[in-house]
Amino acid sequence: MHELGIVFHIADSLLAVGRENNLTSISSVTIELGEVSGVVDSYLTDCWRWTAEKHDLLRGCKMLIETLPAVTLCESCGKTYPTVTYAKVCPFCGSEKTHLETGNEINIKEIEAY
């Protein structure tokens, strides 16, 4: 379960931000999660609840998840298309010379703190 490792990284990042900014509490963190990142959002939030309770600064902190759509670029015709619908084959020209542009990311987008 790589979700636990991801959560540890997020927690470490938030704790560092908390120290740098003399925060007393972080109430929520918004995560951008790529549609084809391979991360299971329910596992991520379960791991988050367990991890957040281990740190005073994060206790009660909610994790909000925004899904980033997966988009593939066709190198042959230059058009983009939804990856999940069409996979590797371009629906416009039939080429397999494609690559994923977005949808594999995991980013901390926003932190609500005081």
**Overall number of domains in the chain:** 1
Q: What is the pLDDT of residue 6?
A: 97
Q: What is the pLDDT of residue 114?
A: 86
Q: Quote the tokens at residue 22.
A: 């003399």
Binding site, annotated residues for Ni(2+)? 2
Cα gap 36→97, rounded to integer Å? 19
Binding site, annotated residues? 2, 74, 77, 90, 93
Q: Residue 93 belongs to a domain with what CATH number?
A: 3.30.2320.80
Cα gap 108→63, rounded to integer Å? 10
Binding site, annotated residues for Zn(2+)? 74, 77, 90, 93
The helix or strand, by DSSP H or E, that contains position 45, with its residue range, turns out to be helix 41-52
Q: Which domain holds residue 39?
A: 3-113
Q: Note the pLDDT tens digit of each residue in 21-65.
A: 999 999 999 999 999 999 999 999 999 999 999 999 999 999 999
Cα gap 81→59, rounded to integer Å? 41
Q: Is the pLDDT of residue 1 over 60?
A: no
Judged by DSSP in three states, 25 sits in coil
Question: What pTM was computed for the model?
Answer: 0.88
The percentage of the chain sitting over the pLDDT mark of 70, rounded to a whole number, equals 99
